[in-house]
Amino acid sequence: MTEGLAGALWGWPPPVLDPAGPYADSVTVLAWALFAMGVVVTGIVVAALWVALRGPERWRRVLGGEKAVWIGGVAFPGVVLTVLLIWGLTLTASLTKPITGDEMRIRVTGEMWWFRVEYLDAAGNVVMRDANEVRIPVGVPVVFELRSADVLHSFWIPHLSGKLDMVPGRTNLLRAEATRTGQFGGVCAEYCGGPHALMGFVAIAKEPEEWQRWFDARVAADSVQPLAAVSTTNPQLAQGRELFMENGCAACHRVAGTQANGLAGPDLTFMGDRATVGAGILPNHRGTLTGWIGDSQGIKPGNRMPSYDRLSAQQLDAIAAWLGQLK
Amino acid sequence: MTSETGFDHKLYGLFPQPRKQPDEGLKELERVWETPRGWKIITAVNNNYIGFWYVVTSFLFFLLAGILALGMRVQLAAPMQDFMSPDTFNQFFTMHGTIMMFLFAVPAVEAIGVMLLPQMLSARDLPFPRLSAYAFWAYLIGGLSFFASLFIGAAPDGGWFMYPPLTSTAFSPGIAVDFWLLGIGFIEISAIAGAIEIIVGVLRTRAPNMTLDRMPMFAWAMLVFGVMIIIAFPAVILCTLLLEAERMFNWPLFDPTRGGDPLLWQHLFWFFGHPEVYIIFLPAAGLMSMMVATIARTELVGYRLNVLALVATGFISFGVWAHHMFTVGMPRVSTGYFSAASMAVSLPAGIQVFCWIATLASGKIRWSTPALFVVGSIVIFVMGGLTGVMLGMVPFDWQAHDTYFVVAHLHYVLIGGMVLPMFAAFYYWTPMVSRTPLSERIGRWVFWLMFSGLHITFLPMHLSGLMGMPRRVYTYLPGRGLDLLNLVSTIGAFIFALGVLVFLYDCARNFRFTAKGPDAGNIFGGGTLEWLPAGLYSTRSIPVVHSREPLWDNPELSREVEEGRHMLPDTATGTRETLITSPVKAEPQYIQLMPGPSIWPLVAAIFTASFFMSLTVQAYPFAAFSAVVTLAAILRWLWDTDAPLAVEQAEVGGGIVLPVTVTGASSHSWWALNILMIVIGMIGALAVFAFFFLYGSSPEVWIAAPALGQTAMIAGMYLGVLALLWAGRRVLRARAGRVAGDLPWVLVMAGALLATWALYCDITGWLDAGLDPTATSMGAIVFMFMALQGQVVIVSLIMVVYLAFREARGLVTTPHNVTMDIVARFTGFVAVQGLVFTIVPRLFPGA
């Protein structure tokens, strides 16, 4: 199951060479050009070495003087590097165009070892909370406000843009835009201790209208409580909710419309709607959710959520069932 | 040619002397340089032993770090494996990087320098043999204890770059980080000691007439290496001090909630960390240049260009550090500058590569195992350099940074730029220290296994990186297209390891160490002085050099030298000695008496290690005890030096008479002290940088300074210190020919005490102004200034007491005395640094 998810988000072709937006597009072109440069220059040096060692006498004489050093070691790289540098600087400038303030804003905070996501309105107020997932409309420029709650992290969605670090005490702004719909993998790229390897997230690009419908519904549900899904009469779901509240889950997790308002861990108000479990590592369905609650330490050793292995399989399943229908 | 020191160059024409020296002289020379027997061999300080042990130890760390790498590759061979826990993996990659950089690469090139340089320069030994011995023992003991932290599960796991806040107490409460900070800080001290030794050695102990323009390329490389170490390593020492201060005393230097900044660490660390790469590469490039010349049997094409390239690399490498930080959110202008500088540094590398190619093209190749390694290294290094150019392009770096692409890049550069050249050097120079050479046939196996293993391991990693695999991950999810790439990398790593194993087999079969000959000799036909017939004393007489490849230009040279027909034949004073020559033109200046075997460097090293270890485990009383023993041991070993002389001057052949030891600006100790002051001054300068960085980052926590009058008073006191020192030296000079008396040391002592008082006033002034080191970053950095100042004040107090003791024993000579010189000069430095540390924070206060 894991394979399916990772394959959908990552896999072939390499994301860096498979851009889905303007901030990744031009870098892909650059990458191919640099790769070509690398191959050509390696070829030249190997050829020169071959001539030096085995070549005809006349060629060796040409290569065997200081003039060859000036041409091969100074002039040639000088020209190549100057061209590349100009390209690189121009491209850097175009990728860091000033932020106008009209872009859509999403604040992402790196935490050990997951991503807190907050959608902001024009005034900078939080209007909707989520975790380990960002949804953006196609064709709309987005600015991610990157922060850290603890140590250094780095926010990277290779399909959409280069990475930018999340530095405690600072807010870094990352520009991105998707030009096609799809699900794109993201990871923390700066070593942050413990299970850094399993700190991922998903970026989902949707058509603007579809995105707007989704967003409006979310904002409404996040502020106007209670949710229909929260107060259920289904016995299994009710049991799941009860277990959730009794076993301390609520101390760290928030579910809008209930007394669960913990802020230490990911917001679970829309858990059923999320693509992944465990910060971008498992596809989200009842089975994986059950496994995660029961054995989160086995799946992602060292993460901040204890394994609820004292609960029975039936109880875990009930919690997963309740969380799974929070949409 | 004009003379540098007034030495008449016509005198070189006297050598070789017409007549060979009598055999008794050689016996005397052998007796003087004899090695202690049995277990006492550990008291040896001769570079022939220390250098060899040093190389072997660094290679041991290469193997240990390599084993850690294999463990990691097993874990990553398939997705989501449980071969090791994330914690263990994190310790493994941290230790792999740390050991490879700090305990293998830098010590290895330094060790090769200690072993080869005296031979190449035809010096009897490096100028401070006991310092080399201390550096070696400190490194061995410190390194092994550091490695042992793995076995108790307390190894650091914050990465070799140790970025706070992950390494701050809040997220790393145990002692693992302290192990790293104190262990590495300690080993850096050893590296700096070695660098001072090497700089002075290269500049002052060359064979007569070996001008800078005739110096072997490896000596040039080691000179640049030494200078880079003394500028770069203070940064990592300051890093460790700052983070340790935050961890031990809660001084918030990196904590943003109290005005600290985690990026301060990154700037300081990479100011060290990037030059570090060239610190590793340049000496290896120097070895390459020398081997290339021998392989092609012709002088290196573009000698001066190559020197220029070495110097330029060293220079530019200090301006590129922030290319490790393109993703932290820097202003566009800064990224542009650092990108351009990073591109520029590839030009000198290009010059060196094409110098090698041109040399190979212009000569007559003799194919051999070292040649194979040399050519292979060039290809790999160029490939690594090109991916480096790619990463220097900012937009590409934003994608590739901190992915496996970078892992591939750095391993190509370091293996092509340092590891394979080192193996080439092993095959090339083994005949100098072993009775039998290593096997040419087995060597080819070693090369092809390593060469192919390298590509199989690291070529796929470029793609893993572009596929989105970040660095420092203990596992990865299945189905990401990474499974096969990683499996191939793992297989490659084992092929590479097999190559190393075959090399060990070759060593076991063929390597037979000998320090005093007979060795296998110059089988590759090198033209530089290390191939002269030599014993523990290096060469019997020190040749006058007329070209870059003296052995090629004078086939008789070996015989002449062995018959004692060159300078300083046998021993002129009946003790260990070497010739000190001038820095540019290598004109003979004086004979340096060298200390012999001693247990004290070893004792000092053991207790320095135990001092740092006790600090780590917070056993403060034992730390204090160790510090006292260390100090006593160092002073004990110094006591023998700078003794009043039995002979004031001696003949070095051809009727040329040179003084025995000198003081002042032509003395080798004067040079060493100045270099040490640069090191300490760099720590201070970087601390001042940290002050301004934090000021720029959080000006809101800056408070008003104490009154200006107080500042003026403290500044006046420091100027008073300088006046006292000046007076002390005047008095000593005025007493020429008489006993020194008490007045000189009393004046110097008064200076040191005044400096202490000035520091006290500075500290109380800030405390009264309400500055608290635990409350804000301003408090932390200002008190860090005072802590740094406190360290040098304590050292200068110890020095003046030592000076007083020597005076009491009548060991202070007039009109000059090396000990007095050094104590006064250092105390003067203390005053100047105190002045800067007082004025800077008081002139840049907050509102």
Q: Whole-angstrom Cα distance, residue B340 to residue B533?
A: 48
Query: What's the pLDDT at B574?
Result: 86
Q: What is the CATH number of the domain that holds B831?
A: 1.20.120.80
Burial class (CB in 10 A: 0-12, 13-18, 19+), B743: middle
Last residue of a domain, one of B491, B510, B529: B510
DSSP state of B18: S
Count of structural domains, chain B: 2
Q: By C-alpha distance, which of A21, A88, A127, A153 is closest to B323? A: A88
Written as six digits, the tokens of B211 are: 């001008």
Last residue of a domain, one of B495, B510, B525: B510
DSSP for B325-373, written as a single string: -GGG---HHHHHHHHHHHHHTHHHHHHHHHHHHHHHHHS-----HHHHH
Pairing of strands A114-120, A104-111: antiparallel
ipTM exceeding 0.90?
yes
**A296 to chain B: which residues are within 8 Å by CB?**
none
Please give the residue of chain A at the shortest CA–CA distance from B340: A85
The answer to whether A187 contacts B470, with C-beta atoms less than 8 Å apart, is yes
Residue B598 lies in a domain: no
Residue B582 lies in a domain: no
With a CB cutoff of 8 Å and minimum separation 6, the contacts of B310 are: B220, B221, B224, B282, B285, B286, B348, B352
Greatest CA separation for chain B: 86
Query: What's the pLDDT at B3?
Result: 87
Q: Whole-angstrom Cα distance, residue B129 to residue A67?
A: 43
With a CB cutoff of 8 Å and minimum separation 6, the contacts of B570 are: B21, B25, B26, B28, B29, B540, B541, B564
The answer to whether A46 contacts B481, with C-beta atoms less than 8 Å apart, is no
CA distance A259 to chain B (A): 30
Q: Whole-angstrom Cα distance, residue A166 to residue A169?
A: 9
**B360 to chain A: which residues are within 8 Å by CB?**
49, 52-53, 64
pLDDT tens readout for residues B223-240: 999 999 999 999 999 999
Residue B724 lies in a domain: yes
Residue B420 lies in a domain: yes
CA distance A231 to chain B (A): 36
Please state which of the four CATH numbers 3.60.15.10, 3.30.420.480, 2.70.150.10, 2.60.40.420 is assigned to the domain occupying A104-212.
2.60.40.420
CA distance B20 to chain A (A): 42
Written as six digits, the tokens of B577 are: 């000695």
Phi, psi of B652 (to 5 degrees): -110, 20
Last residue of a domain, one of B510, B544, B570: B510
What range does the domain containing B740 cover? 690-843
Query: What's the pLDDT at A226?
Result: 55
Would you say A142 and A113 are in contact if contact means Cβ atoms under 8 Å apart? no
> Is the pTM for the entire model greater than 0.90?
yes
Query: What's the pLDDT at A4?
Result: 63
Would you say B242 and B184 are in contact if contact means Cβ atoms under 8 Å apart? no
DSSP for B692-713, written as a single string: HHHHHH-GGG--PPPPHHHHHH
The one-letter amino acid at B782: V
Helices (H), chain A: 2-9, 22-54, 57-63, 66-69, 76-95, 208-223, 235-246, 249-252, 286-299, 313-324
Residue B531 lies in a domain: no
Residues forming beta bridges with residue A137, ordered by sequence position: A206
The answer to whether A162 contacts B397, with C-beta atoms less than 8 Å apart, is yes
**A35 to chain B: which residues are within 8 Å by CB?**
390
The answer to whether B262 contacts A2, with C-beta atoms less than 8 Å apart, is no
Please tell me the CATH code under which domain A235-324 is placed: 2.60.40.420
Q: Which of B378, B451, B477, B483 to mutate to test the interface with A (most CBs of A within 10 A)?
A: B477
Per-residue pLDDT of chain A (327 residues; tens, 9 = 90+): 455 677 778 888 999 999 999 999 999 999 999 999 999 999 999 999 999 999 999 999 999 989 999 999 999 999 999 999 999 999 998 888 888 888 999 999 999 999 999 999 989 999 999 999 999 999 999 999 999 999 999 999 999 999 999 999 999 999 999 999 999 999 999 999 999 999 999 999 999 999 999 999 999 887 655 555 566 778 899 999 999 999 999 999 999 888 888 999 999 999 999 999 999 999 999 999 999 999 999 999 999 999 999 999 999 999 999 999 888
Q: Which of B80, B166, B461 to mutate to test the interface with A (most CBs of A within 10 A)?
A: B166
The answer to whether B395 contacts A73, with C-beta atoms less than 8 Å apart, is no
The answer to whether B400 contacts A16, with C-beta atoms less than 8 Å apart, is yes
Pairing of strands A104-111, A142-148: parallel
The answer to whether B357 contacts A49, with C-beta atoms less than 8 Å apart, is yes
Residue B329 lies in a domain: yes
3-state secondary structure at position A227: coil
Q: By C-alpha distance, which of B771, B403, B213, B690 is closest to A190? A: B403
Would you say B537 and B29 are in contact if contact means Cβ atoms under 8 Å apart? yes
Would you say B785 and B841 are in contact if contact means Cβ atoms under 8 Å apart? yes
Residue B18 lies in a domain: no
Q: By C-alpha distance, which of B162, B383, B348 is closest to B265? A: B162
CB pairs under 8 A between A and B: 288
Residue B819 lies in a domain: yes
Give a three-class secondary structure readout of B364-388. Answer: CCCCCHHHHHHHHHHHHHHHHHHHH
The answer to whether A3 contacts B359, with C-beta atoms less than 8 Å apart, is no
The interaxial angle of helices B176-204 and B668-697, nearest 10 deg, is: 140
Low-confidence spans in chain B with pLDDT less than 50:
none
Q: What is the CATH number of the domain that holds B467?
A: 1.20.210.10
Q: Whole-angstrom Cα distance, residue A66 to residue A69?
A: 5
Please give the residue of chain A at the shortest CA–CA distance from B257: A169
